[in-house]
Amino acid sequence: MEETKTGLLSVVATPIGNMEDITLRALRILGEADYVLCEDTRVTGNLLKRHEVSAKLTRFDAHATERSTTRVLADLAAGKHIAMVTDAGTPGVSDPGVLLIAAARTAGCRIDAIPGASAVTAAVSIAGLTGNQFTFLGFAPQKKGRQTFFAQLLTFDHPVVFFESPHRIMKALQSLVDVADAKTEISRSIRVSVARELTKLHEEFVTGTPAEVFTYFDTQPVKQRGEFVVIVSPEKSRL
């Protein structure tokens, strides 16, 4: 279906930690846009200041109202160029922005992807996994469906990647220990890898059996802080 001639929505990926991990194209787009939609104007403001980019910032987070979305769509219809960012990563990928992107797509707006750093691919790239596929499941459910979520992780025949918050990382690791123990016939073939604080000062990558990884973080509470990417993989998928 041919798009109507309207403005442009640029979906811009920002660094997941290290402020140097942003493309030249992204910086140019952020400086050229009529305004930039962002989760937190302070966070985005610091990024732009670091790279000496001047831009008009407008707050647009996961709690943005329908009225806010309507206003943005009207600006796009009027021919404006609007950029969208999140605090870290890419809008619409386990981050706010998907509803606006869908509405803009329905309205026939042009939408450009400005790619950049990804916690998912960064973690997978240093995990030493073989094969050419993995499944990304976003954030683990907070409440409903959480038990089923972890039980199903051991049914995959290829690596599975998901995000977890510092408030729930130990519960997640305990859940992996529990499901592995419940399926003793396959538990020894499962490996868990945790990438913590990727691209940041205290970045680390921990891998082992579910019990080994749980013990590592349980005995070092200070390491339970930060952002986490968890990879659950069959032993055969590792070098």
* Residue intervals in the chain for CATH 3.30.950.10: 119-237
User: Helical H runs in 2-96?
Assistant: 24-32, 41-50, 66-77
Look up the pTM and report it.
0.88
Bridge partners for 161 per DSSP: 136, 231
pLDDT on residue 1: 43
pLDDT on residue 183: 60
The CATH code for residues 8-114 is 3.40.1010.10
* Residue intervals in the chain for CATH 3.40.1010.10: 8-114
d(C-alpha 54, C-alpha 45), whole Å: 9
Residue pair 228/194 in contact by the 8 Å Cβ criterion: yes
At 208-233, the pLDDT tens digits run 999 999 999 999 999 999 999 999 99
pLDDT on residue 233: 92
pLDDT on residue 144: 87
pLDDT on residue 94: 75
d(C-alpha 50, C-alpha 71), whole Å: 29
Least Cα distance to 9 among 116, 118, 92 occurs for: 92
d(C-alpha 59, C-alpha 66), whole Å: 14
CATH of 119-237, one of 2.60.120.260, 3.40.190.10, 3.40.50.1980, 3.30.950.10: 3.30.950.10
Mean pLDDT of 88-106: 88
Sheet of strand 204-208: strand arrangement: 135-139, 160-164, 228-234, 190-196, 204-208
At 15-74, the pLDDT tens digits run 999 999 999 999 999 999 999 999 999 999 999 999 999 999 999 988 888 889 999 999
pLDDT grade for 112, boundaries at 50, 70 and 90: very high
Bridge partners for 194 per DSSP: 206, 230
Other C-beta atoms lying within 10 Å of the C-beta of residue 204: 13
